[in-house]
Amino acid sequence: METQTKARLQTLPLQEIAIGTSNPRKVFDSEALKELTQSIHEKGILQPLLVRPHDGGFQLVCGERRLRAATLAKLSEVPVQVQELTDEEVLEVQLIENLEREDVHPLQEAETLQRMLDTEKYTVSDLASKLAKSETFVIQRLSLNGLIKAWKDAFLKDHINLGKALIVARLTKAGQKELAENAMDHVGGIKSKAALERFIDRQISRKLEQAPFDVCNEALVKKAGPCTTCNKRSGANERLFPDIEADDQCFDKACYELKVQAHLMKRAKEIVNGAEPVHFIYSPYAEELPNGLVKLLEKHNIKLLEQYEDFELHGNDDQAKEGLWLNGSGKGHPEKIYLPKRSKGKMQELPPKERIARIEQRAERALELDAEKVQKRIIESLAETEELHELGKLPIQPVDTLLQRLWLWNTAPWEVQETLGKTFKWSSGVSNKTMLQRLERMTEAQVAHLVRLTVFAKWRHSLPTFIEGMALRSLAEGIPSVPIADIEKEQRQVARKRIKRTKERIEKLKEQC
């Protein structure tokens, strides 16, 4: 950077140096400041402060931390470099000096980089060159400016690290808020980076290859434009998503859902206006139907078909009809459906007993779905918890013994299970709950018997040099009735005779040479 005049060295009284407001550094670590104060007290200021003439006095450009420490060390004056600088030049010097510090927080880096871009004198490429960093580094740092206050505070307080912050910064403000509401683990800390990524994959981001709408359509939602050029799509902004291999992930759930709704309404109008033979189908266990869509269909007296009540998803292909999902995971997608033979699914025309049976069947299925949803949420929670995935965070519990026994039982071949069932006098055809109770009550001798028979059945053909073969040899050595010594003695005798014959043949061949 060119300046108007060269700098001159001199000393100035502390009271003559005014602190400006443009310095990007706003936070000073108290412990580090104490250490610097002690160093200045012992050795003085080794690097002069940079000041400029301003309003009849001097204004600090660089070195505010040293100035604060000098004040705490009760110095009366400090060494300075005096240089004529414009306001624009002051800002540029401060920004670059701030970026070159080793202890700068990534959020301060992000703010500084943004201020440099805002001067319109730099491009991302220019900033990357000045920092000797990649453009990906600069873009990712700049993305941190998009963090909402809750996540910025968490980052500044070291509740999350840079890796987590960069993951969160990819999201829209709504996505960040949703993540913040679900980010705590069971002990009150922030979930691991992997757990946050799993939550984002399941609950926030969307795979565009599964979208029911045309991702290239510019007019579907005009203010959003096509997905193909959207910078909230992983493939359109590779430098912000360098760790994501798939190029079709959308990180703006609200926009995605808006396009699904627009597509659904557009498709419904096409079906209604064109009198297409397509049924409108929905699940009673998914979210409520879009109000505007319901009004459109009611206006045209179109019946909505309810899953399990009015149609099934399995049947003979020659009886298949086309349906369009109005809610659930398939919302906006077409689906093959199969209507009941009687009265095209109008339950009111069925005999009372059959109607009762269908109602009870539906109620039973609803309970099954409730249990499946509970299990799904439990599995999702297990997938996110650090105790399960990190060694030493979860103490040994009685269930660990049960898990080991169930795993062993499932590993055992069918013939071993049948043999053990007879040995343990277990009746067949019991419920899963009863089977778990049996495994819990197994004695150590029964568990050992299960292990031995299972590994023998699976490893009996292993060679002696294989680890499984070696383990079976150790098992045999602990069983007195297995005559290992006699077996080896017999084989040594066979080997000696074979070796003798081999030597004799070799000697005869040598005589012929």
For 68-127, write each residue's pLDDT tens digit: 999 999 999 999 999 999 888 888 788 778 777 767 789 988 988 898 888 888 899 988
User: Quick one: pLDDT band at residue 213, thresholds 50, 70, 90?
Assistant: very high
**From 64, 92, 111, 178, active-site residue:** 64
Q: What's the confidence (pLDDT) of residue 285?
A: 81
Helix (H) or strand (E) holding 433: helix 432-440
Residue with tokens 């003085």: 44
Residue at 496: amino acid letter: R
What pTM was estimated for this model as a whole? 0.59
pLDDT (tens digit per residue) in 171-201: 999 999 998 888 876 556 677 888 888 888 8
3-state secondary structure of 478: coil
Share of the chain above pLDDT 90, in %: 47
Here the tokens at position 162 are 């840079």
pLDDT 10s digits, 130-186: 878 888 899 999 999 999 999 999 999 888 999 999 999 999 999 999 988 888 765
pLDDT digits (tens, 9 = 90+) for 202-211: 888 999 999 9
CA distance 291 to 298: 11
How high is the pLDDT of residue 357? 83
| pLDDT, tens digit, 9 for 90 and up, residues 357-378 | 878 887 888 888 888 888 888 8
Tell me the average pLDDT across 277-286: 90
**Pairwise pLDDT comparison (3 vs 289), residue with the higher score:** 289
* Known catalytic residue at 64: yes
Percent residues over pLDDT 70 in the chain: 94
Position 441 pLDDT exceeds 90: yes
Phi, then psi, of 469 in degrees rounded to 5: -65, -40
What six digits make up the tokens of 71?
A: 């004040």
Is the pLDDT at 21 greater than 80? The verdict is: no
Q: What is the reported pLDDT for 247?
A: 64
Question: Can you list the domains of the chain with their CATH numbers?
Answer: 1-104 (3.90.1530.30), 205-258 (no CATH), 277-349 (no CATH), 398-477 (no CATH)
3-state helix/strand/coil string of 373-413: HHHHHHHHHHHHCHHHHCCCCCCCCHHHHHHHHHHHHHHCC
3-state secondary structure of 463: coil
Number of C-alpha atoms within 13 angstroms, CB side, residue 324? Answer: 25
